[in-house]
Amino acid sequence: MSNSKTYQFENQFTLENCVGRVVIAVVGHPFDFVKTLIQLGYEPLPPYPTTTIFGRHRLALPGVFRYIGHIRRTDGLCGIYRGIGYKLTSVLVNGFIYVNLSEYLKHLYPEEESLNEDKKDEDKQSTPDLQKYVKLCQYLSRETASRFVALLASYPFQVMTVRVCAQFVGRETHYDTLFGAIKDIYRTGGVSGFYAGFMPRFLGDVLVLWIGSNIIFVANSWIDGDSTTKNYVSASVNFIVSSLLYPFQLVSTVMSCNGQSARSLAASAYTGHPYANWVDCWRHLSQLGEIKRGSSLLWRYQSTVLTAPLIHSTAVDRETRYRPKEW
């Protein structure tokens, strides 16, 4: 592989990329705010009895719009954008590093030679599908490296976003300023506190990327050259895989606000007892039947009744705050 030319850095993170990410982040932030609180286990509004379309009696939890309305009534219109500064910083840092690092890796490992080899192999009537799969693996490897570095740089701001949203529970003010957020995270959790929940978030992203891409590759090999059908298959596969791997996102959020590294926040009482690691958190949420908590924001049902106090107490254990509701 020849790569004699020196790489000249040119920012590939264009204004269009920046504006697009900012608009999506701003529009979606109220929903992400509510989703974060639900993932942490905080339910400020009481459930109400309802009947499902299958005729079953269930306790329904208020949907995302009622939840947003509750936040607005409590903190005003600006309250639903609590933490937007940290989120925008995370999105822009992540986007800038990801886009430029991807471009650099493409320069460092060009595909020109592999393309020439593909043509030679096809002429020899060998296995072009195998060559295509090798190229796919090369692409996924570059994507994995780019996403890892981008997430590594932006994740501390993601932790700050989760915790500033969690302040809604106990009305703290530690994370209202960047200096206060950095001080609290470092004081309670040290450097590792800035990366609480990092591993499940990264593993979830990588698994979605690799599993989804491999399924799409296999599916497209069975589909004739219909781009519309292929796009539909790609979108459907990515949605299904993301839904199946949602627990990684949930565990990441819970671990971001759990244990001693988040002891200054009342919301840490809702995340359960301090977990030894993210696997322990996953196992415990699975035992409670809450491993998909927050995956749906419109139609939500509760199988247990939350009785957690609003006042923070490190002695509160999650099992003592749940009792089954019988119908």
Span 43-48, average pLDDT: 87
For 102-160, the pLDDT digits (tens) are: 888 888 877 654 445 545 544 444 466 788 888 889 999 999 999 999 999 999 999 99
- Cβ neighbours for 270, distance < 8 A, ≥ 6 positions apart: 40, 41, 42, 169, 308
Instruction: Read off the pTM.
Output: 0.83
Question: Phi/psi zone of residue 84: left (φ > 0), alpha (ψ -120 to 50 degrees), beta?
Answer: alpha
Note whether residue 81 is domain-resident.
yes
User: What's the mean pLDDT in 262-269?
Assistant: 88
Phi, psi for residue 286 in degrees, rounded to 5: -65, -40
The total number of structural domains in the chain stands at 1
Categorize the per-residue pLDDT at 53 as very low, low, confident or very high, splitting at 50, 70 and 90.
confident
Is the predicted pLDDT of residue 61 greater than 50, yes or no? yes
What pLDDT does 320 receive? Answer: 42
Residue 210 inside a domain? The answer is yes
Residue 5, in any domain of the structure: no
Which pLDDT belongs to residue 324? 36
Q: Is residue 119 part of a domain?
A: yes
Q: Is residue 127 part of a domain?
A: yes
Dihedral angle sign, alpha carbons of residues 169, 173, 179, 183: negative
Domain residues for the domain of 60 are: 15-324
User: Which of 289, 55, 35 is CA-nearest to residue 168?
Assistant: 35
Domain-embedded: residue 4: no
Predicted pLDDT of residue 56: 78
Is 10 a member of any domain? no
pLDDT at position 303: 62
> What is the average pLDDT across 62-71?
92
Residue 20 lies in a domain: yes
Amino acid 248: pLDDT: 96
pLDDT surpasses 70 at 288? yes
Q: Which residues is 301 bridged to in the sheet? A: 60
* Closest CA relative to residue 24, chosen from 87, 97, 75: 87
**pLDDT score at 235:** 87
And the tokens for 181?
A: 């957020």
Q: For the chain, report the end-to-end CA distance as a whole number of angstroms.
A: 68
Mean pLDDT over 285-302 rounds to 87
> In this structure, what CATH number is given to the domain that contains residue 240?
1.50.40.10
